[in-house]
Amino acid sequence: MRVGSHPDKSETDLNIQLFYHRIILIVYIPEVGGYFKDARKILETSIKSIKATIHNKAAITVINNGSCDEITNFLESLAKRKVLDKLVWYPTNKGKIDPLIAEVRSSYETLITISDFDVLFKSNWISEVEAIFSKIPSCGMVGHLPDPVKYKGFNSATLLSGLFSGRLKQVKQDFKNELSIFAQSINTTYEKYGKENILTYTKNGLETVVGAHHFSATMRRDYIWHVDTKPSLKKMAGNSEYHYVDKPVDRMGCLRLSPRYPVVYHMANTWESWMDAELERIQNGNKSIETSNMPPLKKSKIAVIPYVLRVKLESLFFRTSLEKLIQKMFF
């Protein structure tokens, strides 16, 4: 039985703020000891760095992926204070990629950033990322940490487009500090990981680095139409991020790039004193302003080549003995 009329029926329109950039963090902290002893502080630092740097047309979603009560209560407090625009809660861990993809599908924003919660965002990150999408409309994914070795793998559209248009160039790698921190965060060293040169792609006066990490990256939402509709049913391993993030962007014929210099730090699971100093510097900096002209996505001309053939050409030119000849001849 119904008594009376629902009050919302008298007003049909919503008066809510609209965004064009959504940042989605996925959080799994099952305890606050052992491996996760610093996890809460790292999570807080990540969210503070995002909040201090984003413009008014960006919003934050956090996925609580089966975290312990302390973290759940902390995230709920952020949502109640409207630090977060959206909080999603799973009582049990649903794996990493499946909850992320579900949130991307449910988001309407043009740009979608997905990130681990152990990422510290620099003050210029969102402006640098959006500039790439604005000046290079064929870009479908921007990683936040350029990597000398990330040009190999799921970059057929980027490499072939750059090769045939003369936009590729080898330049000296000059961000050793950030790469050293990243190398340590993945249990290796700069000597084993860092390379002397990076491969760049330049268009409309903007120099970028070929390839993109997926631990913290921004995509055009359009890419989701090329993602498998079946769940991965994977926790963290199994290359699910390659198949649900990297490959779909390349398959649709769009570029995968990174800013010329790193715009994030990967903190990993251990707190270090430099993080406090860096966060303070970020919070004292200027907020970014929204991008006034975000052109629609435009696939690379190389997309007319069937994907299977593109991948074979990428492998031939950049994974065989021909690579050095290609570099000498073209860039």
Q: Per-residue pLDDT tens, the chain, 331 aa: give them.
A: 888 887 777 777 777 889 999 999 999 999 999 999 999 999 999 999 999 999 999 999 999 999 999 999 999 999 999 999 999 999 999 999 999 999 999 999 999 999 999 999 999 999 999 999 999 999 999 999 999 988 988 999 999 999 999 999 999 999 999 999 999 999 998 887 778 899 999 999 999 999 999 999 999 999 999 999 999 988 876 688 999 999 999 999 999 999 999 999 999 999 999 999 999 999 998 888 888 788 999 999 999 999 999 999 999 999 888 888 887 777 7
Residue 8 covered by a domain: no
Q: Is 84 helix (H, G, I), strand (E, B) or coil?
A: coil
**Is 7 inside any structural domain?**
no
**In this structure, what CATH number is given to the domain that contains residue 140?**
3.90.550.10
Domain assignment of residue 274, yes or no: yes
Instruction: Judge whether 5 lies within some domain.
Output: no
In-domain check, residue 190: yes
CB 28 within 8 A of CB 65: yes
Which residue range forms the structural domain that includes residue 267?
18-330
Q: Is 4 a domain residue? A: no
Domain count, the chain: 1
167 and 280 Cβ atoms separated by less than 8 Å: no
Q: Which two tokens stand for residue 286?
A: 């200027």
Reference 170, options 180, 159, 161; nearest CA is 159
105-to-12, 19, 79, 200 alpha-carbon distances in Å: 25, 16, 21, 31
> Is position 9 within any domain?
no
**Spatial distance between the Cα atoms of 76 and 71, rounded to a whole number of angstroms:** 9
Indicate whether 215 belongs to any domain: yes
